[in-house]
Amino acid sequence: MSRIVGIDLGTTNSLVAYVDEKTGLPRVIPDQEGRVLLPSVVSFTTEGVVVGEAAKRLLVRRPATTVYSVKRLMGRGYEDVKEELCYLPFKVAPCDGIVKIQIGDREVTPPEVSAIVLRSLKERAEAHFREPIEKAVITVPAYFNDSQRQATKDAGRIAGLDVVRIVNEPTAASLAYGLHRLKEGVIAVYDLGGGTFDISILRVKDGVFEVLATNGNTHLGGDDFDRAIVVWLLDDILSEHGVYLGRDTEAMQELRLAAEAAKVRLSAEDRTTLTIPFEEFTYRRAITRAELEGLIEKLVDATLGPCRMAIADAGVAPSDIDEVVLVGGSTRVPLLRRRVQELFAKTPHSQLNPDEVVALGAAVQAHILAGGITSMLLLDVTPLSLGIETLGGIVSVLIPRNTTIPTSAREMFTTSVDGQTIVDLHVVQGERELAKDCRSLARFELSGIDPMPAGMPKIEVTFLIDANGILQAQAKELRTGKATAIEVKPTYGLSETEVERMVEESFAYAEADVEARLLIETRNEADTVITHVERALRQGGELVPVEEREAIREALEELRRARAGDDRGRIRDTTAALNRATEHLADVMMDAALKAALGSKRAAEIMESD
């Protein structure tokens, strides 16, 4: 049994953990100095690449070549991250649908940077076990889309790790608390770190986890608490000492560090004193927990709205939530714990170190996969619907949003033009009715179909989403057996706000979309009928009296005129009228065809008996 480690690849810090065979408990692996958190920071220096604590120290001195928060860029395109870039001091440029980070005259991709962090954790684990480590479970936020998950897998591969499973962070946190042992229950995982906030609602049933809903804010966390304290300190220094330090980068750095340290102390104490020696004066200030709470209350409350939304999206009431799990360093703040407790009317789980809980859960999942715990499965859901563009640009959804994965779905399609030998398949993701309003994931082609009349080929499209949320699309023409497949590795991802926007728009545009869809469908139906009637007139027109033929031609013209407009009711009625006008012709043709078939059968029998 080869060892699998669990890795929390975080925005700010990363950790690696394993399950101790003797105790059966998960444990984080420290580095040589006994530190468990590896800052997710990579600095490219002339002497080589530096990672972790050493790189973090270079953040201030070498901002252009020291990369942090790279998780925000994973699997994303330039359009997705444009707004992030003002927060990042290094240069990010678009490149073939993804982004690259410019370090001097060198370019690196986000997965390459993450791979440097992962390799460092791999080496840490190897030093601990004194054996090579080649397999890992890596966690990602529940809202990560498939390209972000794919980019995370790529990072693992670059680091020499086989990523055997990508697990959602809230699922991992629940595992760390052993909540998979619940017979049934609803879990809220509240995760507030340094820079991001995530709330996830999960359901667990007989050891099976399902993400019901997620929400959050990608720019809200402990850093904002620090900033609120710094603003307050700047004001205080101005009135006490008559200097404004807001434009002095070095002083601001000092203030930020002192503010964070005071905030951390105030989680355990009621009162603390800040002392900052500046060149001209030493600034000293006492701050109470109540004062801190006054400064950060609005920020803490800003997390409650997304919680309520996630609860509503999950289709549960706050009282249905059985367990609350706290994740992330900022959940040590007492005010926050009180607010979370009030919201859910439940004491949250906080026994485990909130910085370690995701990595510990990843280790539990790794242990399950390695065969240490059997009879357990982990399930997640698709964040957005997946479908195929069909005639007229309508989306036919194969896998609806929030479907539990792994999953597969199958649907039959056909051609719209006679003799069509190639079908273009367009895979889209989103909640809108028309493909142009959804996100294009991939295009692929099914060719070599035998020429047949429109509507005859039977094209079976299968979507398969694996446990990591990666989509495989396949198309097969059943009459000829011609098949083609594609693994959807989108070149760029959706920003969380884009996902949110797409979901919101789907509600806002729902009515207009349905109307547009119905019109297109009605036109498609009209086109099919027109094609069939034209063919019938060519092949069997002579079988009916001339007046009947004329009546059919008239009905045909009427439908063509209706089809050119956008009055759906009229198109529908004239289609029905044309169908009625051809009923007799269809019967006559069917009879003729039957007679011909019987005739040839008789001929075949005669030949056989010969």
In the complex, the residues that contact ligand AMP under the rule CB under 6 A are: 12-13, 193-194, 221-223, 260, 263-264, 267, 328-330, 332-333, 355
3-state secondary structure of 160: coil
Q: Which tokens belong to 260?
A: 């964070």
Nearest distance in Å: CB 37, ligand AMP:
7
From the list 31, 112, 146, 169, the catalytic residue is 169
Nearest distance in Å: CB 454, ligand AMP:
57
Is 191 annotated as catalytic? Answer: yes
The C-alpha angle with vertex 459 and arms to 457 and 464, in degrees rounded to 5, equals 175
From the list 71, 122, 153, 263, the catalytic residue is 71
- Residue 462 burial by CB count (10 A; 0-12/13-18/19+): exposed, middle or buried? middle
Q: Which is nearer to ligand AMP, 336 or 381 (CB)?
A: 336
Nearest distance in Å: CB 330, ligand AMP:
4
Nearest distance in Å: CB 203, ligand AMP:
25
Q: Which is nearer to ligand AMP, 80 or 223 (CB)?
A: 223
Nearest distance in Å: CB 225, ligand AMP:
7
From the list 80, 191, 323, 389, the catalytic residue is 191
Q: Which tokens belong to 521?
A: 């469908």
Is 210 annotated as catalytic? Answer: no
Q: Are 213 and 200 in contact (CB under 8 A)?
A: yes
Q: Which is nearer to ligand AMP, 120 or 415 (CB)?
A: 120
Nearest distance in Å: CB 301, ligand AMP:
17
Which residues lie across from 26 on neighbouring strands?
19
Nearest distance in Å: CB 263, ligand AMP:
5
Nearest to 12 by CA among 73, 56, 58, 43: 56
Is 8 annotated as catalytic? Answer: yes
Q: Which is nearer to ligand AMP, 264 or 588 (CB)?
A: 264
The tokens 């759906």 sit on which residue? Answer: 568
- CA distances, 568 to each of 148, 395, 489 (Å): 42, 19, 39
Q: Which is nearer to ligand AMP, 264 or 483 (CB)?
A: 264
Q: Are 118 and 9 in contact (CB under 8 A)?
A: yes
- CA distances, 56 to each of 61, 69, 162, 561 (Å): 10, 11, 27, 70
Is 169 annotated as catalytic? Answer: yes
The C-alpha angle with vertex 82 and arms to 87 and 489, in degrees rounded to 5, equals 120
Nearest distance in Å: CB 352, ligand AMP:
13
CB atoms within 10 A of CB 124: 22
Q: Which is nearer to ligand AMP, 324 or 494 (CB)?
A: 324
The Cα–Cα gap between 505 and 269 comes to 46
The Cα–Cα gap between 305 and 296 comes to 16
Q: Which is nearer to ligand AMP, 13 or 148 (CB)?
A: 13
Q: E strand or H helix at 223, and its extent?
A: helix 222-241
Q: Which is nearer to ligand AMP, 26 or 221 (CB)?
A: 221
Instruction: Give residue 104's region: left, alpha or beta (phi > 0; psi -120 to 50).
Output: left
Instruction: Give residue 396's region: left, alpha or beta (phi > 0; psi -120 to 50).
Output: beta
Q: Which is nearer to ligand AMP, 225 or 492 (CB)?
A: 225
The Cα–Cα gap between 17 and 29 comes to 5
Nearest distance in Å: CB 87, ligand AMP:
15
SS3 per-residue string spanning 11-59: CCEEEEEEECCCCCCEEECCCCCCCCCEECCEEEECCEEEECHHHHHCC
- The sign of the dihedral angle between the CA atoms of 575, 576, 578, 582 is positive
Nearest distance in Å: CB 279, ligand AMP:
27
Q: Which residues contact 16 (CB under 8 A, 6 or more apart)?
A: 5, 6, 7, 8, 28, 29, 38, 121, 122, 124, 125, 136, 359
Q: Which is nearer to ligand AMP, 197 or 413 (CB)?
A: 197
Q: Which tokens belong to 30?
A: 């420290």
46-84 burial string, b = 16+ CB within 10 Å, else e?
A: eeeebbbeebbebbeebeebbbbbbbbbbbbbbebbeeb
- Supply the residues annotated as catalytic: 8, 71, 169, 191
